[in-house]
A and B are shown apart, each in its own frame.
Chain A
Amino acid sequence: MGDHRYQEYVEKDDAVIDGIDVSGAWNRMWVPREVTEYDFTFLDRVTDLSGGESMGWCYECAECIGVCPVDNVGSYGPRKLYRKLQIGLDLFDHPDLWLCTTCRNCLRVCPKEVDMMQIMPAVREQAILNGNVPGELQEMLQNVAEYGNPMGESARKRMRWLKKFDEPVRDLSKEPGEVDVLWYVSDYFSYHPRGIDAAKAMVRVFNRLGVDFGVLGRNERCDGDSQRLCGETGLFEELAEHNHALFEQNPHERLVVSDPHAYNAFKNEYPKLTGTEYNVQHYTQFLAEKTEQLAGMFTGEFPRKVTFHDPCYLGRHNGEYEAPRTLIEAVPGIDFVEMFRCKEQGYCCGGGGGGMWLDGLTADHTFERLSENRVREAVDVGAEVLAVCCPYEVSRFEDAVKSTDNDGKLEVLDIIEILDSCLGDD
C-alpha cells in the first residue's frame, strides 16, 4: 500500500468514555476512505444535464454488465461507466460515449432505472455542440442534414428502386389523395441494394393482399431516431417537422413502417414534438393481423430451418415480440428455432444508437462485432436462415456471415422476403 492514504489515521490521545480510558492505538480511526472523497466533477457534469440525472442513481450492482451486448464483446457497460466517471473520466470527450447502442437491455434489469436511452443522447448532444463527434458519424449526420438519408444519396433518387419494377406503387408526391396505408419506406429500403430487395417484396405482398397503399416518394426523409440517439437533437427536430407535415398532407388511415427505428420515432418521439398521436404499425404488426388471409394465399413452401433476431427497437423498446413470430410460423414448411438470447433478452446487432455508422470506432474498443457474435449464435442453433425485420440488419448480418467464415452456411433474409417467396407470382 506504500504511502496510500488508507494508512492515515487519527488516534485520540486522551479518550475516557464512561470512566474507561480508551486512548491509544486501539481506538484508532482511519481517515475517511477514498470512497467518500471522489472528485464528482465529471459525474456531476453528466447528472447536471437534463436526461443525464439517472447516471447518479447507479449503486454499482452490475446487473447491467451481464446483459450489456457491448460488454459481451469488450469492456463497456453502464456500471463500468459509472465507476469511470467517479474516478475522473471525461465522458464528453471519450470513446465510451459512442459505444452504447441504446439497446435497452440494461434498463430492463436495472433496479435503479439508470436510463442510458436518456443519458447517452444528452451527453452526446453536448459533445456534438462542443465539436467532439467521431468522423464517421459526422459524415452520416452531414448526409442526413444535406440529403435526408445517411448514405448521402440524392433525395430525388429515393424512388429509383422502382425502376424496372412492374408492380404498381402509388407515389403520393405525384398522385396525391387518400390511402388506407401510408407506407413509410425508410432509408435502407429505398437505397441499400438488399433493402431494395425487401422493399420490392413488400410491394408484392401488399399488392397480393389488395392493400390500398401509397408512399411519400422523393419527399420522404430519414425518420431521425438514430440521429436523436446520437445527440443531434436539432436534426431530429427538423426531420420530425418535415415528416410530420407530410403525414398531415397525405390523408391515411394508418402509417405502416418498414423500420423499427421509424416505428419508435413515430410512436414515442414525434408526439412529444408535434402533439399528434400517429396510428402507426410496424409492417409485421400490420401483416400479422392478416395472417389468415396470407395463409390462404401461400402457394409455395419455405422448408428451411429459420431463427429470428428481435430488433431492439421493436422488441425491448416497444414490447412487440409476437407479430414477427406469428408471421414466421405461418409460413408453410418452415422449421423455426429460437436462439438462446431472444425476445426481451435478445442480443443487439450493434446498429442502434448510431452504431450503424461507428463501425471503426467500435472495432477499436471491442474484439468482435456485435453482429458477428449474433451470427455465430444463429449458426450454433443450426439455423440455415437468420430472419430479421429491421432494415439495418440485413447488411450488418450479411457482412458478419462473411467475416465469421459462415458464407454459404447462413442466409440473412427479411421476414417480408420469406413471405413474398411463398406467395408466388400472382
Chain B
Amino acid sequence: MKIAVLLKMVPDLVEELEVDSTGKALDTEELKFKLNEFDDHALEEALLLGGEEDEVVALALEGEGNEKLLFTALAKGASRAVQLTGVQPGGSGEQATAFAAALAESSFDLILTGVQSVDDREGQLGPLLAARMGLPCVSVVTGVSVTDGGATVNKEYSGGVMAEFEVTLPAVLGIQSAQQPPRYAPVSKVRQMQQTATIESLTVGGAGGGAESEVTAMAPPEVGASAKMLDDAAALLEVLRGEGVA
C-alpha cells in the first residue's frame, strides 16, 4: 500500500497576528510558522497504517521551514519525503491543484491530509484535491482501517455522533485525529536525517487554481463591550426587569 501525507506550515498562533498593508492578508514579517497540527495527526495515522511493506510518502510545498518539516517526517518513520517546487503560494485551491499534479504521477492508495488548518478553517484542501483527482473524499476522520480494496473510516459529527463509512481506494481522507497522539521526533534523529537523508524535489508548475474564494478584507476581531459582573440575585432580577423579561 502506498500512502501520501500532505504537510503544510501554518502561522503559529503563539505570535501576535497582524494584518499587512493590503488589508487582505497576514503580515508575515514577524510571523513564525509551524506544522499544521491536523497534518501531524494525518502523518501519525499514515505511520500507524503503514506496515513494513507499505510506503508512506510525506509531501510539502516549497517554503520556509518545510525542509525541517520533511526531515522530521522522515525521523518519525516516513519512507520518503518530497518537496514540490514551482508553486506560487496561494489558498487551498492552488495548493490542491499543485498536490493533484504531484500525486497524479504515482499511484497512491490513500491520500491523507489534516482536516483543516488555521488558514483553512473550512477544511477545503481535502475535498478540492479529491475533486481535482476524481477520487472519493471523507473529512473529519478519526480512524481508518484498510480492508480488501477499500477502507473503513470513522467520521465524527457534532454532538458526539459518529459514522462509519466504507470507501473505495484510492481516496482522500481529511484526518481530525490519529488513533494515537502524534509521536515525538527526537532531535538527534531529525539531525541524523538532515545529514543522511535526501528530500526529493518535484516540479509541478504554477497551474491555475480554478474556482477559489477570494479574501476581500482581513481584520482583527473588534473588542466588544466587557461583561458586567453582578453581585447577587437581586442585581440579576433588576437587570431582567430592566429588560422587561421579569
Contact = CB atoms under 8 A, between A and B. Distances in A.
Interface of A: 128-129, 131, 133, 135, 138, 141-142, 145-147, 152-156, 232-235, 237-238
B214 to A, nearest CB: 30
A226 to B, nearest CB: 15
Interface in B57-82: none
17 contacts: A129-B186, A129-B188, A129-B189, A131-B183, A133-B184, A146-B34, A152-B14, A153-B14, A154-B12, A154-B14, A156-B30, A156-B32, A232-B186, A232-B187, A234-B186, A234-B190, A237-B188
B106 to A, nearest CB: 28
Contacts of B181: 135, 138
A142 B184 contact: yes
B184 A238 contact: no
Contacts of A145: 187
A385 B32 CA distance: 42
A233 B186 CA distance: 9
Interface of B: 12, 14-15, 30, 32, 34, 181, 183-184, 186-191
B58 to A, nearest CB: 18
Contacts of A141: 184
A10 B191 CA distance: 59
A235 B189 CA distance: 10
A147 B14 contact: yes
Given A129-B186, A138-B184, A147-B14, A154 B32 contact: yes
A234 to B, nearest CB: 3
A232 B12 CA distance: 24
A156 to B, nearest CB: 7
Given A135-B181, A154-B12, A156-B30, 14 more contacts: A128-B184, A131-B183, A133-B184, A138-B181, A138-B184, A141-B184, A142-B184, A145-B187, A154-B32, A156-B32, A232-B186, A233-B188, A234-B190, A235-B188
Contact of B191 (A131, A142, A153, A234): A234
Contacts of B183: 131
Nearest to B187: A234
A269 to B, nearest CB: 16
Contacts of B32: 154-156
A234 B14 contact: no
Contacts of B15: 154, 156
Nearest to A133: B184
Interface residues of B: mostly helix, strand, loop or mixed? loop
A131 B184 contact: yes
A238 B187 contact: yes
A232 B181 CA distance: 19
Contacts of B30: 156
A237 B192 CA distance: 13
Contacts of B191: 234, 238
B15 to A, nearest CB: 5
Contacts of A235: 186-188
A128 B14 contact: no
A273 to B, nearest CB: 13
A341 to B, nearest CB: 35
A163 to B, nearest CB: 13
Contacts of A147: 14
A238 B30 CA distance: 23
B184 A234 contact: no
B188 A234 contact: yes
A234 B183 CA distance: 16
Nearest to A235: B187
A128 B183 CA distance: 10
A135 to B, nearest CB: 6
A222 to B, nearest CB: 12
Contacts of A135: 181
Of B15, B34, B181, B184, most A-chain CB atoms within 10 Å: B184
Nearest to A238: B187
Nearest to B191: A234
Please provide the 7 A-B residue pairs with the shortest distance between their CB atoms, ordered closest to farther.
A234-B188, A234-B187, A235-B187, A154-B14, A138-B184, A128-B186, A133-B184
Contacts of A156: 15, 30, 32
Nearest to A239: B187
Contacts of B187: 145, 232, 234-235, 237-238
Q: Which of B30, B32, B188, B190 has the most CB of A within 10 A?
A: B188
Contact of B189 (A133, A138, A152, A234): A234
A330 B32 CA distance: 47
A408 B14 CA distance: 35
Nearest to A156: B15
B163 to A, nearest CB: 28
Nearest to B13: A154
B147 to A, nearest CB: 27
Nearest to A145: B187
A119 to B, nearest CB: 19
A146 B72 CA distance: 12
Interface centre among B12, B32, B34, B186 (most CB of A within 10 A): B186
A235 B185 CA distance: 10
Nearest to B35: A146
Contacts of A138: 181, 184
Nearest to A132: B184
A141 B32 CA distance: 18
A153 B181 CA distance: 21
A234 B189 CA distance: 8
A133 B187 CA distance: 14
A319 B246 CA distance: 71
B185 to A, nearest CB: 8
Contacts of B34: 146
B101 to A, nearest CB: 31
Contacts of A234: 186-191
A132 to B, nearest CB: 10
Contacts of B14: 147, 152-154
A128 B30 CA distance: 33
A12 B246 CA distance: 102
Contacts of A238: 187, 191
A92 to B, nearest CB: 14
Contacts of B190: 234
